Amino acid sequence: MNTHTSAAGATASTAFSSLSLHPATLQNLQALGYEQMTPIQAASLPLTLAGKDLIAQASTGSGKTAAFGLPLLERLNQRWFAVQGLVLCPTRELADQVATEIRRLARAQENIKVVTVYGGVPTRNQIASLENGAHIVVGTPGRIMDLIERGVLDISNIQTLVLDEADRMLDMGFYADITTVVEQCPESRQTLLFSATYPDDIDRLAKRFMREPQMVQVAAQHSAHKIEQRWYEVPAKQKVDVVVQMLAHFRPESSIVFCNTKQQCRDVVTELQAQGISALALFGELEQRERDEVLVQFANRSCSVLVATDVAARGLDIANLACVINVDVTPDAEVHIHRIGRTGRGDAEGLALNLVAMDEMPYVAKIEQLQGRPSEWLEVAELTPAPGGPLLPPMMTIQIIGGRKEKIRAGDVLGAMCADFGYAKDQIGKISVNDFSTYVAVDRRIAAEACAKLNNGRVKGKSVRARVL
Instruction: Report the interface residues with ligand AMP, using CB under 6 A.
Output: 34, 37-38, 41, 60-66, 101
| Cβ distance to ligand AMP smaller for residue 58 or 308 | 58
Q: How far is the CB of 220 from ligand AMP (least distance, A)?
A: 11
CB atoms within 10 A of CB 107: 15
H and E: helices and strands count for the chain: 17, 21
What crossing angle do the helices spanning 239-250 and 262-274 adopt, rounded to 10°? Answer: 50
Beta-sheet strands, E only, within 60-195: 85-88, 114-117, 136-139, 160-163, 190-195
| Cβ distance to ligand AMP smaller for residue 62 or 437 | 62
Q: How far is the CB of 34 from ligand AMP (least distance, A)?
A: 4
Whether the Cβ atoms of residue 408 and residue 400 lie closer than 8 Å to each other? yes
| Cβ distance to ligand AMP smaller for residue 58 or 417 | 58
- Per DSSP bridges, beta strands 160-163 and 85-88 are parallel
Q: How far is the CB of 221 from ligand AMP (least distance, A)?
A: 12
3-class DSSP assignment, residue 25: helix
Whether the Cβ atoms of residue 245 and residue 382 lie closer than 8 Å to each other? no
| Cβ distance to ligand AMP smaller for residue 34 or 175 | 34
How far apart, in Å, are the Cα atoms of 89 and each of 66, 94, 195, 197, 326?
A: 15, 6, 11, 15, 36
Q: How far is the CB of 341 from ligand AMP (least distance, A)?
A: 16
Q: How far is the CB of 168 from ligand AMP (least distance, A)?
A: 14
Q: How far is the CB of 136 from ligand AMP (least distance, A)?
A: 15
| Cβ distance to ligand AMP smaller for residue 60 or 157 | 60
Counting Cα atoms < 13 Å in the Cβ hemisphere of 222 gives 10
Q: How far is the CB of 346 from ligand AMP (least distance, A)?
A: 17
Q: How far apart (Å, rounded) are the C-alpha atoms in residues 444 and 394? A: 6
| Cβ distance to ligand AMP smaller for residue 6 or 65 | 65
3-class DSSP assignment, residue 178: helix
| Cβ distance to ligand AMP smaller for residue 346 or 461 | 346
Burial class (CB in 10 A: 0-12, 13-18, 19+), 138: buried
Q: How far is the CB of 35 from ligand AMP (least distance, A)?
A: 6
| Cβ distance to ligand AMP smaller for residue 104 or 338 | 104
